[in-house]
Structure 1
Amino acid sequence: MKVVIIGGGVAGLSLGLLLNKQNIEVVINEKMTEFHTRGHAFLMHLDGWSILEELSEGKNIPLPGIEIGEFNFNKSNGEPVKRQKLNLWRCIRRKDLIAFLNQLVPEGLIKTGRIFSHFIYENGKAVAAQFSNGEVEYGDIFIGADGSNSAVREAILGPVEFTKVEVKEVVGLCKNEALASKLPNVFTKFQSDTRGISFGMIPVSASDFVWFMQYNSLEADCSDKSTPEQLKAFCDFQLSDFPPIVNELLTTNDYSTSYIWNTRDFGLLPKFHEGNVVLIGDAAHLALPFTSAGTTNAILDAKALTEVLLKIGNSELAFEQYYASRKDEISKHIYLGRELKELFMHPEKIDGDKMVVPLISKKESDDKGDKPLKVQYFTDPICSTCWVVQPMLRRLKLEYGEYFDIDYRMGGLLPSWTDYQRGPITQPSDVASHWEEVCMIHGIPLDGDIWLEDPLPSSYPPSIAFKAAQMQDGDLAILFLRRIKEMLFLEKKNIVDLNYLENAAFEVGLDSAKFIKDYETKAQEAFRNDLILAQNMEVGVFPTLIFTNQDNKTIIAKGYQEYEYFEDIIHQLIPNAQKRSLNTDPVFLFSCFSTMTNKEFSFLSDKSVEDTEKTLDDLYERGYIDKFESKNGIIWKSKLADY
């Protein structure tokens, strides 16, 4: 089988390398004799750049660009709207990526100066590509990777209907070491809330930034043929009311290398192929740049197409499966781009709380839908017993998670120390000794010294913080609760401090700007509602778990209980419940849970204390996990969990 690829950009080069690696004969045909640098840089998700790393494996050619770990979204006056952690995104200069791919291409694989003209057909099947310079390339399969204005697409499917250009981008690349040191790995964006204009800046190296100014061309415009001086004047005028940092960056920009990009898209095609000719990348689908998905999608296309060609002998069936595997994701990006464009052009519709951050990648849960069992869990961030039942709750989720969802409620364990008395505990020093005792009994680390060195006056602030997290994302709120418990129980951090709470929110992927806003407003009322509910249900012990089945039969578990007790409740309420086989593989467990103590790992993996220590030390030495050592034990942090 010989594959003829038309287009030597990122899509065409990636596909050619993937096919060549499988010993498939490939020819890449590129119209340019030299690769241009237009399209200064782009963001790419791990889904894309992990494929590139596979291609360079064993060749000692490092992937260019730097990882971007944070997204800051602000109003044009500098007021924060969103601050969110980014997982697994990378900013790469286009010329650096093309150079990287070209280093991997075997000699003779690329033929340049070939502008596609038409296909030569025999018996209704394309047998060769004809180029305008008179050259012809014969093959069995033909791939159109020739970009958004694809001549191959038009040849096989006819013209597409592009959307009208309403938003344009001025794009540039400049060196500014001072700003790069202040904003390493941070994607910063400012957007007006009164008109359609925004400015974004992303570091692409330790000293360079790619920047863009998006603007509503129906409100103001600049000619594509403007001189560098005219382009600079246009940008300066449009951005005159933006924060000083914008001007600080642009003073180092060379406008002779900047350009205006007319953004547009077209709807999802009914198919990506005709006969033995198929499309990938922008030739197959085009989304507006608000989604930052174009380059990643091109590489994912190349990978998906390679896989089906290897698996399915019939090319048309392979192309149909390729389309089926990609169309839903592509459609989402097209419509998300249009949604974001609408918000951009009509800023009066923007609600900061609902602003979409398209770069946040979150895996869909496998446990969706109604479940036969509801569990209300009354807990508190400073409750030591709630901490030591974590191994049981985690195992319960792994083995019986298909049967129940947990509704987390805050119980209000410590309003203040005034007249507080629960058993023998009347003052902070009593908690210190109690925690040390709990640690000895249950073998799970707690450091009671926090209550001697920097005692918490109340558990209400971290409880309110949990409600703020919960308002934003239920799954991330559970990670947030886990994180602030680790801060308190092991790191001796006073989680009444809003700085610690904000940092924890950011660490787990919440929008920390929204978190602070909700903490100071709506979360207060949500916490009060939890307290009222706890009082009405006569909850006085933590943890309290209330299990209710579909027949409204209820069983209440209070305080510390052994795992078998929870299993028995589930079987009483769902007699036919079957537990999943527990996967005890360490890598799997650390993919499920971002952190684990020795006790948790031992309980989930059914290993002895000695085997647990040996396994965790081995994982640490191999670079799978990190560790934090507290006075009374270690917590291990996964490098595998992607939340």
Structure 2
Amino acid sequence: MKVVIIGGGIAGLTLGIFLNKNNSEVVICERTWIPTNGHAFLMHSDAIAILNELKLAAEPEVKHKSINSYSLKRPKGNEIKHLKLSNWNCIKRVDLIKYLYDLFPKNRIKLGRDFSHFIYENEKVTAAVFKNGDVEYGDVFVGADGGNSIVREAIFDSIETTPVEVKEIVGVCKCTTIETNFLSNFNKFQHKNKGLAFGFIPTCEENEYVWFIQYDTAITDYNGNTAEELKLFSKDLLADFSQEAKAILDSNTFETSYIWKTRDFNLLPAFHKKNVVLIGDAAHQALPFTSAGTTNAILDAKVLAATLSENLTIEKAFTSFYEIRKDDVLQHIQLGRDLKNEFINPSNKSDDDITVPLIKKREVGSIPGKSKPIQVLYFTDPICSTCWVIQPVLRKLELEYGDQINIKYCMGGLLPSWQEYNKPKKKKLISTVSEAAKHWDEVCAFYEMPGDGTIWNEDPMTSSYPPSIAFKAAQMQNADKAILFLRSIKEKVFLEKKNIIKWKHLENAAFDTGLDSARLLKDFEGKAPALFEEDLKLAQRLGITGFPTLIFYTSDFDNQHVIKGYQSYEAFEEIIKQLVPDIQKNIVETNPLHLFSRFSTMTTKELSIIYNITMEKAEMILDELYQKGAIDRYQNKNGNIWLSKEKQEY
């Protein structure tokens, strides 16, 4: 089977390399030269993983810069969103094209071929004809010739595209005056009341940035023709923006900048007709707000190569390609349109609700949430040592019964202040920071959980209220990520000896667990204290006097069972079976690396409890994984905590 690819850009080259590896006969036809125009773009790690499949193990990866966070600010620089990014990279187009070009046989790339029309026989295409008179015969023809595809027009006639409502001015420049805290970030400055935004992203070259200005054409438009006119127009747009914006424009050479007219078209009913198929922007063009175009082109190439290699008929291979890709493509098209409408009408959304302009993975085969038969009120506190050492039991509970138990986390307010804590209500085991230090060490050692009480002597906490309020602020964003946040601040205080009253540690924990740290601060100072007060009142009403306290119940709150303090896993299971006698538990995956894909950190005791094995056996398993380089380790005086190397998707 001979495949003729029309278009030697990213989609066409990637497909050609995959097909060549599958021993297919492939010819790539390009108009003038292999296109290297364009500046740089964001690409998801999924696409980089595919690119790595194309090379030999010893060959270098495509040059890319990891982008670790997204920061959204108002024009003057006040931050309204700050989120961790785990799987995004900036890649220069010229680097990616060169990488792909070097992986494909040069004698099969035919330059100077500007597509003209097809030759048909019995309604099937037998050859592609080019404007220079060349004719290329083949069995399968692939249109990889971009958003203005002539191949698409040849098989489907013209299609209706959306009007150009937003334009982007794009450039790349060297700038040495940008602060170092911008060097791994996607930074965007967006106007609150009109469709105007500026953004910049560092490339893999030192002090180099790709930048863009997005503007609503209903507000203004560019009518010039020269680089100097484009520079003046850009500066006028950003006259009220931050110094970073002005520094970027001052450093830019506008001779290489261009204006991108953004538009898209509806999902096609098919990506093929007979033996001609479209990939990349020729098949589907989304508005650029999602940063999905290049990733989609590479995914298209891999999927199409796979379906063609499965010994299906050409028609079935193309149909399978469409069925695999259409849902993702449709999601990207819709998100692009939603983001465009949000951009044009910025006052319709609050700061909290502004959408992050990056596509997320579609949830494949997700099942709508169902009502869980068992409910739990869990009263806890970020600095409660018993709440820390009970973590192994709770994690096993989540693994075996998580789909049937709903746990609601409530903050109990263990330490309002030392003055309030020591009021003569009843005799307490702890009344000073030195006693707290000793107690932590004793509890952690007894329950075989890592922990270090010396923080109470070195940097003592005066209250547990600030981290408790921060947890309520986290819950306002996302209940699941709030639990990750709580785990993170517990690790910071019990293992790293970080005083989690201090905002910098709370902010870092929020960022590391995928929360918007800028919003967390706003809610921490705004609505979260009232929510914390509600938790305190609920605890008082229910007579909660110690932590942890867990109240298990079904639909009838009168039928409840209470666990106070540390209890064995068997005690938890006994209550569960009393509430739902025929309950079935899940089987826990026996591969410990699977647990690290579920939990980003794990103590030896947690593996011991989850697998019901001795601490010695658990330590041996984890150390073996560590020695192989599969996981990392953080050593503490009372034991180790083991760290996943798998990137978490946020």
Q: TM-score range by the shorter chain?
A: over 0.9
Q: Report the CA distance shift for 1:615/1:32 in structure 2 as closer, same or farther (over 3 A).
A: farther
Which residue number in structure 1 is paired with residue 27 of structure 2? 27
Q: Is the 8 A contact 2:291 2:359 kept in 1?
A: no
Of 548, 556, 581 in structure 1, the residue corresponding to residue 562 of structure 2 is 556
Q: Report the CA distance shift for 1:368/1:514 in structure 2 as closer, same or farther (over 3 A).
A: same
Which residue number in structure 1 is paired with residue 621 of structure 2? 615
Amino acid at match of 1:21: K
Determine if the alignment matches structure 1 residue 539 to structure 2 residue 544: yes
1:393-423 deviation digits (Å, cap 9, x = unpaired): 1112112222122221111111121242563
Q: Is the 8 A contact 1:597 1:636 kept in 2?
A: yes
Amino acid at match of 2:530: E
Q: Report the CA distance shift for 1:546/1:109 in structure 2 as closer, same or farther (over 3 A).
A: farther
Q: Post-superposition shift, 1:542? A: 1.5
Q: Report the CA distance shift for 1:556/1:119 in structure 2 as closer, same or farther (over 3 A).
A: farther
Q: Is the 8 A contact 1:584 1:606 kept in 2?
A: no
Distance in 1 of aligned mates of 2:368 and 2:400: 16
Q: Is the 8 A contact 1:200 1:211 kept in 2?
A: yes
1:532-553 deviation digits (Å, cap 9, x = unpaired): 2222222223222222334654
Q: Is the 8 A contact 1:168 1:216 kept in 2?
A: yes
Q: Post-superposition shift, 1:527? A: 0.9
Which residue number in structure 2 is paired with residue 10 of structure 1? 10
Q: Post-superposition shift, 1:364? A: 4.4
Amino acid at match of 1:441: F
SS of 2:377's partner is strand
SS of 1:326's partner is helix
Which residue number in structure 2 is paired with residue 389 of structure 1? 390
Q: Is the 8 A contact 2:339 2:357 kept in 1?
A: no
Amino acid at match of 1:381: P
Q: Post-superposition shift, 1:616? A: 2.5
Which residue number in structure 2 is paired with residue 323 of structure 1? 322
Q: Post-superposition shift, 1:350? A: 3.2
Q: Which moved more, 1:546-555 or 1:88-97?
A: 546-555
1:338-367 deviation digits (Å, cap 9, x = unpaired): 111112112222311001113374674967
Which residue number in structure 1 is paired with residue 571 of structure 2? 565
For residues 481-520 of structure 1, the aligned pairs below 5 Å read 481-520=486-525
Q: Is the 8 A contact 1:32 1:112 kept in 2?
A: yes
Distance in 2 of aligned mates of 1:367 and 1:631: 43
Which residue number in structure 1 is paired with residue 404 of structure 2? 403
TM-score (norm 2): 0.95
Which residue number in structure 2 is paired with residue 113 of structure 1? 112
Distance in 2 of aligned mates of 1:416 and 1:304: 60
Distance in 2 of aligned mates of 1:493 and 1:507: 15
User: Which sections of structure 2, spanning at least 5 residues, go unmatched?
Assistant: none
Q: Post-superposition shift, 1:390? A: 1.0
Q: Which moved more, 1:467-476 or 1:128-137?
A: 128-137
Of 583, 592, 605 in structure 2, the residue corresponding to residue 586 of structure 1 is 592
For residues 8-87 of structure 1, the aligned pairs below 5 Å read 8-37=8-37, 39-87=38-86
Q: Which moved more, 1:605-614 or 1:153-162?
A: 605-614
Q: Which moved more, 1:274-283 or 1:114-123?
A: 114-123
Q: Is the 8 A contact 1:584 1:604 kept in 2?
A: no
Distance in 1 of aligned mates of 2:344 and 2:320: 37
Q: Is the 8 A contact 1:168 1:215 kept in 2?
A: yes
1:450-487 deviation digits (Å, cap 9, x = unpaired): 11222211111100000111111112111110110001
SS of 1:386's partner is helix
Which residue number in structure 1 is paired with residue 339 of structure 2? 340
Q: Post-superposition shift, 1:207? A: 2.1
Distance in 1 of aligned mates of 2:576 and 2:588: 17
Q: Is the 8 A contact 1:490 1:630 kept in 2?
A: yes
Determine if the alignment matches structure 1 residue 636 to structure 2 residue 642: yes
Note the aligned Cα RMSD (angstroms): 1.9
Distance in 2 of aligned mates of 1:492 and 1:468: 23
SS of 2:646's partner is coil
For residues 184-583 of structure 1, the aligned pairs below 5 Å read 184-205=183-204, 206-223=206-223, 226-311=225-310, 313-359=312-358, 361=360, 364=363, 368-370=368-370, 371-420=372-421, 423-550=428-555, 553-583=559-589
Q: Report the CA distance shift for 1:26/1:458 in structure 2 as closer, same or farther (over 3 A).
A: same
Distance in 2 of aligned mates of 1:297 and 1:479: 31
Determine if the alignment matches structure 1 residue 150 to structure 2 residue 149: yes
SS of 1:171's partner is strand
Distance in 2 of aligned mates of 1:367 and 1:441: 41
Q: Report the CA distance shift for 1:462/1:24 in structure 2 as closer, same or farther (over 3 A).
A: same
Q: Which moved more, 1:304-313 or 1:508-517?
A: 304-313
Q: Post-superposition shift, 1:577? A: 2.0
User: Which sections of structure 1, spanning at least 5 residues, go unmatched?
Assistant: none
Q: Percent identity?
A: 54
Q: Post-superposition shift, 1:372? A: 2.3
Q: Is the 8 A contact 1:432 1:449 kept in 2?
A: yes
Amino acid at match of 1:639: K
Distance in 1 of aligned mates of 2:549 and 2:233: 62
1:490-526 deviation digits (Å, cap 9, x = unpaired): 1111101111111111111111111100000011111
Amino acid at match of 1:420: Y
Amino acid at match of 2:598: C
Q: Is the 8 A contact 2:328 2:362 kept in 1?
A: no
Distance in 2 of aligned mates of 1:84 and 1:313: 44
SS of 1:143's partner is strand
Q: Report the CA distance shift for 1:276/1:567 in structure 2 as closer, same or farther (over 3 A).
A: farther
Q: Is the 8 A contact 1:264 1:287 kept in 2?
A: yes
Q: Post-superposition shift, 1:291? A: 0.8
TM-score (norm 1): 0.96
Q: Is the 8 A contact 1:87 1:361 kept in 2?
A: no
Distance in 2 of aligned mates of 1:411 and 1:431: 18
Q: Is the 8 A contact 2:292 2:359 kept in 1?
A: no
Distance in 2 of aligned mates of 1:513 and 1:332: 28
Distance in 2 of aligned mates of 1:314 and 1:581: 41
Q: Report the CA distance shift for 1:134/1:360 in structure 2 as closer, same or farther (over 3 A).
A: closer
Amino acid at match of 2:600: S
Q: Report the CA distance shift for 1:70/1:483 in structure 2 as closer, same or farther (over 3 A).
A: same
Amino acid at match of 1:50: A
Amino acid at match of 1:144: G
Q: Is the 8 A contact 1:305 1:322 kept in 2?
A: yes
SS of 1:5's partner is strand
Q: Post-superposition shift, 1:160? A: 1.4
Q: Post-superposition shift, 1:607? A: 4.3
Amino acid at match of 1:500: H
Number of positions where the alignment pairs a residue of Structure 1 with one of Structure 2: 641
Amino acid at match of 2:256: T
1:584-603 deviation digits (Å, cap 9, x = unpaired): 21221111110111111233
Q: Report the CA distance shift for 1:465/1:301 in structure 2 as closer, same or farther (over 3 A).
A: same
Q: Report the CA distance shift for 1:21/1:548 in structure 2 as closer, same or farther (over 3 A).
A: farther
Q: Report the CA distance shift for 1:406/1:304 in structure 2 as closer, same or farther (over 3 A).
A: farther
Distance in 2 of aligned mates of 1:410 and 1:457: 17
